[in-house]
A and B are shown apart, each in its own frame.
Chain A
Amino acid sequence: MISLTARRLMLAVVTLFIISLIIFVGVEALPGDMATAYLGQFATPESLKALREEFDLDAPAHERYFNWLGNAIRGDLGESYARHKPVSELIGYRFRNTVVLSTAATLVGVPLAIVLGILAGLTRDKWPDVTVSTVSIAGMTLPGFVTATVLIFIFAIRLEWFPAITLVSTNAPISELLPNIVLPVITLTIIMVAHILRLVRTNMIDVMNSDYVQMAQLKGVPSRRIVFGHALPNAMLPTINIVALTIIWLLGGVAIIETVFNYPGIGRLMVDAIGDRDLVLVQGIALILAIVVIAVNLVADLLTLVLNPRLRTARGH
Chain B
Amino acid sequence: MTVASPTVEQISTVKRRSPMSETWEYLRRSRSGMIGLFLIVSHLLIALTSPLLVPQDPLEMNAEARIEAPSTEHLMGTDRLGRDVFSRSMLGGRVTLVVTIVAIILAVIWGSLVGIALGLLGGRIDEVVMRFVDALLSLPWLLILLLVVSIMGTDMWIQALTFGFTYGILTIRVARAATLDFVTREFLLAARARGESTRTIVMRELLPNVRDVLLVDGAMNWSWMLLGFTSLSFLGFGVTPPTPDWGFMIAKNREILAIQPWAVFGPVIMLSTLIIGINLFSDALAKAMGLDRSQGAPV
Residues of A within 8 A of B (CB): 14-15, 18-19, 22-23, 26-27, 29-31, 134, 137-138, 140-146, 149-150, 152-153, 157, 195, 198-199, 202, 242, 245-246, 248-249, 251-253, 255-256, 259-260, 267, 270-271, 274-275, 282, 285-286, 289-290, 293-294, 297
Contacts and interface: CB of A to CB of B under 8 A. Distances in A.
B271 interface: yes
B66 interface: no
A15 B297 contact: no
A157 B251 contact: no
B135 A22 contact: yes
A250 B261 CA distance: 27
B76 interface: no
A145 B257 CA distance: 13
Nearest to B149: A274
A142 B257 contact: no
By DSSP majority rule, is chain B's interface helix, strand, loop, or mixed?
A: helix
Interface of B: 32, 131-132, 134-136, 138-144, 146-147, 150-151, 223-224, 227, 230-231, 234-237, 247, 250-251, 254, 257-258, 261, 264, 268, 271-272, 275-276, 278-280, 283, 292, 294-299
B233 to A, nearest CB: 10
A26 B147 contact: yes
Contacts of B151: 26, 29-31
A134 B276 CA distance: 9
A141 B276 contact: yes
A138 B276 contact: yes
Contacts of A274: 143, 146-147, 150
A146 B297 contact: no
Contacts of B142: 252-253, 255-256, 267, 270-271
Q: Which 9 A-B pairs have the closest CB atoms?
A: A249-B297, A252-B140, A202-B294, A18-B135, A252-B141, A293-B138, A26-B147, A274-B146, A19-B135
Given A27-B147, A246-B297, 5 more contacts: A18-B135, A153-B261, A248-B138, A253-B142, A256-B234
Contact of B131 (A14, A138, A142, A144): A14
B299 A245 contact: yes
8 contacts: A19-B139, A29-B151, A140-B295, A143-B231, A198-B294, A249-B298, A252-B299, A289-B143
Contacts of B132: 18, 22
B276 A137 contact: yes
Contacts of B299: 245, 248-249, 252
Contacts of A275: 236-237
Nearest to A271: B235
A134 to B, nearest CB: 8
A68 to B, nearest CB: 16
